[in-house]
Amino acid sequence: MKTTSPTVLVTGAAKRIGKQTATLLHQNGYNIVVHCNHSTDEADAFVSELNAMRSNSAKRVKADITKLDELQSLADNATAAFGRIDMLVNNASSFYPTPVNDVNEDVWDDLMGTNLKAPFFLIKNLLPELTKNKGNVVNMVDIHADRPLKDYPVYCMAKAGLVMLTKSLSRELAPNIRVNGIAPGAILWHENDLSEQDKKQVLSEIGLARLGSPEDIAEAILYMSKATYVTGQILAVDGGRSINGGSKA
């Protein structure tokens, strides 16, 4: 199916920030390729919602982004969905604590795979489309790429690598493709439970004294989609927390 409307692939788009990002880009005229791995029911329901708003404007693709062959299939299937790809949002990510003594090769491969390897190879596999369409990439980084989060060393290393990937590829792929990153702060309390005391500590470190929302991240990504003179930049969306420091979430 060939379309003249711009098309975006959002990885991990069935839930949370990925879903909100896809929703906002859809509202701004994009066709959406919704990627998922395990969350197929949620992804299918979301695609139905988007298609109810605008007919034939969303499709679902499934892939394990830690596997190189599935990354190639993901790129191929995403491109085939609407006949073009104009934007890639590398949102999918594994996130869980890994104290040093608990790290093994499976943990390393998962965290490095989802947070660093997958973004690189997806960009590589989509180069023909992104180049042809003067496209752009937005990588979901993290404020903890600069200020490590205790007990999350492998995750923080992977996100630090993603920062360098963003900056390096912005040079390698210019002038045809823009590559930028969004570094969220405390947006939603993550699934790895924090104590009430820890939550209070996090809020005390945020200049705006509140959590952000998925909408805040989606708005930043929408901005990057339109910012045709911005590349190689990491935009912190954290309520000022990276200025004040912080270590819990």
Residues with a known catalytic role:
155
How many residues comprise the chain?
A: 249
Among residues 236, 113, 225, 127, which one has the least CA distance to residue 176?
127
Could you tell me where the DSSP H helices lie in 66-187? Answer: 68-82, 105-112, 118-125, 127-132, 153-172
Q: Beginning with the edge strand found earlier in the chain, give each strand of the sheet holding 31-36 in spatial order.
A: 58-62, 31-36, 7-10, 87-90, 136-140, 178-184, 234-237
Rounded Cα distance, 48 and 58, in Å: 8
Alpha-carbon span 129 to 127, nearest angstrom: 6
CA distance 237 to 3: 33
